[in-house]
Structure 1
Amino acid sequence: MANVPDDDTQSIVVGTGNDQIAIHLKQGPTNQSQSLLLTSILIEMGDIEIQIRRSTKATDEYKKEHILSTSSQSPSITFHNGDQEKKNKLEEKLNTNPSYWDYSVSYGPHMWGKIFPQIQCKKFQSPIRIYTEQCEYDPELAQHPFIFDVDENCCQTLENTGHSFQVTGKGHSHITGGPVHDEYQFLQFHMHWGTNDLEGAEHVIDGVRLPGELHIVTWNTSKYKTPQAAVASEQFDGIMVFGILITIVPSDNQEFNKLLELFSKITYKGEKINLNYGTILLKNLMPKDIQTYYTYDGSLTTPMCYESVRWIVFREKMGLSRRQLDQLRQLKCICKGDNVRNGSINQNFRPVMPLNGRIVYRSFH
């Protein structure tokens, strides 16, 4: 058993590999008038993750009254005016949009199967746990190196989707090689992160979950006429997603800073701006070594979770500073003008899914 404290988070890990159980405990801020306030528990058991998070409402109530709300309290006691209004807005949204989803306890990943019944029958979902020693080395991957040819005008718009930021573009791009023989074209990139530095990445490599993961999404132009057709094809050659894991470094990532400097213009959900020519260069966000990676057949990690993805998870990581990760958590999942307290995108990753007999290949010894 190992106990690894890190500021306001403690992790308890028992066992190794698939027999490992990891419990991450995160406490809220404390002062002289309150004791420790536990805000989240993440329990990992092999391919299963269970997360228990205290709601923002309960945390705010605690800070105000120094007591914890209990499930036995009536709504008139549990909700203040702002919270009740938030609850009413969400219920109104669900009534008008029954396919609404997010990363909360009520409408997050563990509820997606009920919101979208089609997901329940899917077997080859992403993300997954990847153990290097259990991956199968494929020498042919090295014999077909990736060609990642994109022009400087590939990234044309920046948008807050309410779930993450997203950069899209239709500039020239030609991507092939590695495990695929068809030609792919850049569609968009976005990112996943967590409430603290011990979570955020979707793929877990050798038992380690990093604080973030960048996804570069490309679509098969050889077989499909539109990105939508490629996504909905339910064929593993429809989409190819490049996953770049994020690690914390002491200084800012200057290339990523060019993106973060624009976040003040897309603070709220639905806000979107055009990018000037060459503002964001996709090739500068890619690892220097794009020939060393893990690959497997899987799915999108957001609804409808279509099983149409060939995943490429690079071994080389991207470094961001803690300050830069904190900037990501300032983006809002609400529209401008919504009378909702907080509303930040502070967690937007899906828990790992069962492998269900799939083979994960690696391009390196």
Structure 2
Amino acid sequence: MTTIVDKDKSSIVIGSGDDRIAINLKQLTTPDQTESTAFSSILVEMGGIEIEIRRAKKKTPVRSASVTYRQNNHNKKTKAEEKLKLSQPPYWDYSMLYGPNMWSRIFPQLQRKKFQSPIQIYTDLCEYEPVLARHPFIFETDENCCQTLENTGHSFQVSGQGYSYITGGPVLDEYQFLQFHMHWGANDNEGSEHVIDGVRLPAELHIVTWNTNQYRTPQEAMASEQFGGLLVFAILIKIIPSDNSDIGKLFDHLSKISHKGEKRNLDHNIVSLRNLMPKKMQNYYTYDGSLTTPMCYESVRWVVFRDRMGISKRQLGQLRQLKYTCKTDKTTNGYITRNFRPLMPLNGRMVYRSFA
């Protein structure tokens, strides 16, 4: 049996599979003006039966909660999952209690997934695919793609609503920019999620785009569990002696979002998406996999560039000053220092390379 309590203690999920109980909690004020915690709704699923209990909005002389009972033998799982979506999602992070080694317990559906990311890539074992080099990337974006900078508690994230048109390489459909973020380690010998030829670098940049030909929204593309719903560009990061000016202005803004939940608007000259991409975009590895954070949807076609981006030790230190705690949290000043997922098994997947 699995019991999950989210971080703010507003919901509890007990059990897994088809037998689950979801309890939503809320703060109530009693007649003597003291606060107490009580349930707002309970959903019980057992086999083909669902029982839902909700707290009544008005006082009645007969009952203090409304109860709904229904029998469903055909589509029981879908309706139960829709109900569970109403509760707060389970809390996750990169710690021992809620980190990658516990994600399959926090999210039982991960136990059924086989094509996860990141992976170890060995160049000699990749299949050379000449057609990739003959199908170059088109990567067009405007200055409004990078409008906001946010501390998500897991990384920084840059997003925007500007024009973008991305296609080519291993895909034929058109894609639109969604966001970019980074992963890094506590020291200079770890941090990248993908490992190439046995070498793990200190950080990795992910540029996330979504398929606008096949899906109406980024969320639909993400949850499709169809490879190619998302196209994610991965750029591994190495240390260089001096600061990287292409990303330097952005990194200087990180101190303004040091706490989780903090968000700032960006001027159009702070960072250019195109300048973050390698000059030799034609050299890359590609494979089908997943997002590397929960819910780890298997909807990603990965492009892992062969060329690396360089940043200085000072700039790497700026990343490690970001915190996973809110500004109002007085109990800890925890820093985000190790936000990468361990390597996942390949499980028979083929990795292709565009270069000989």
TM range (shorter): 0.7 to 0.9
Residue 260 of structure 1 deviates from its aligned partner by 1.0
| 2:166 partner SS | strand
Q: 1:75-224 alignment to 2 at 5 Å?
A: 92=9, 97=88, 99-224=90-215
Distance 2:119 2:6 in 1: 34
Q: Which moved more, 1:336-345 or 1:353-362?
A: 336-345
1:153–1:278 Cα contact (<8 Å) kept: no
Q: Please name the residue that 1:228 is paired with.
A: 219
Work out the CA distance in 2 between the residues paired with 1:94 and 1:347. Answer: 27
Whose strand fraction is larger, Structure 1's or Structure 2's? 2
Residue 138 of structure 1 aligns to which amino acid in structure 2?
E
Q: Which residue of 2 aligns with 1:352?
A: 343
| CA displacement 1:22-52 (0-9 Å, x = unmatched) | xxxxxxxxxxxxxxxxxxxxxxxxxxxxxxx
1:45-60 to 2 correspondence within 5 Å? none
1:243 aligned counterpart, secondary structure: strand
> Structure 1: how far apart are the matches of 2:301 and 2:193?
15
Aligned counterpart, 2:267: 276
- Secondary structure at the aligned position of 2:186 is classed as coil
Deviation per CA, 1:241-280: give whole Å up to 9, x if none.
Answer: 0000000111111121111111121110000111122321
- Residue 153 of structure 1: SS of its match in structure 2? helix
Q: Evaluate the alpha carbon distance shift between residue 169 and residue 316 of structure 1 in structure 2; reply closer, same or farther with a 3 A threshold.
A: same
Letter paired with 1:350: R
Q: CA deviation at 1:93?
A: 7.2
Residue correspondences, number: 278
Percent same amino acid at aligned positions?
Answer: 69
1:243-262 superposed matches below 5 A: 243-262=234-253
**What residue ranges of structure 1 are gaps of 5+ in the alignment?**
1-87
Q: Distance in 2 between matches of 1:118 and 1:169?
A: 31
The structure that has the greater radius of gyration is 2
In 2: Cα distance, 1:245 partner to 1:304 partner = 23
Instruction: Map Cα deviations across residues 48-100 of structure 1 (whole Å, 9 max, x no partner).
Output: xxxxxxxxxxxxxxxxxxxxxxxxxxxxxxxxxxxxxxxx9957477575610
Aligned partner of residue 356 in structure 1, secondary structure: coil
Give the alignment's Cα RMSD to 1 decimal.
Answer: 1.6
Counterpart-to-counterpart distance in 2, 1:276 and 1:123: 41
Asked if structure 2 preserves the Cα contact closer than 8 Å seen for 1:94 and 1:100, the reply is: no
Name the aligned partner's letter for residue 253 of structure 1: N
Deviations 1:162-207 (A, max 9, x none): 0000000111100000010000000000000000000000000000
CA distance in 2, matches of 1:212, 1:138: 27
| Conserved? CA contact 2:325–2:333, under 8 Å | no
- Paired residue type of 2:267: N
**Structure 1: which amino acid aligns with 2:103?**
W
SS at match of 2:145: coil
C-alpha distance in structure 1 between counterparts of 2:123 and 2:268, whole Å: 39
Equivalent position to 1:293, from 260, 264, 284: 284
Contact 2:178 2:210 in 1 (8 A): yes
Matched, 1:238 2:229: yes
Question: Using a 3 Å threshold, how does the CA distance of structure 1 residues 124 and 254 change in structure 2: closer, same or farther?
Answer: same
**Cα deviation digits, residues 227-253 of structure 1 (max 9, x gap):** 000000000010000000000111111
In the TM superposition, residue 321 of structure 1 has moved relative to its aligned partner by: 0.8
Kept in 1: contact 2:149–2:159 (CA 8 A)? yes
Matching residue of 2:42: none
**5+ long unaligned stretches in structure 2:** 13-24, 26-87
Relative distance call for 1:98 and 1:283 in structure 2 (3 A) is closer
AA partner of residue 328 (structure 1): L
Write the distance in 1 (CA, Å) between the matches of 2:351 and 2:11.
38
Q: Which residue of 2 aligns with 1:326?
A: 317
Partners in 1 of 2:89 and 2:277 — Cα distance?
Answer: 37
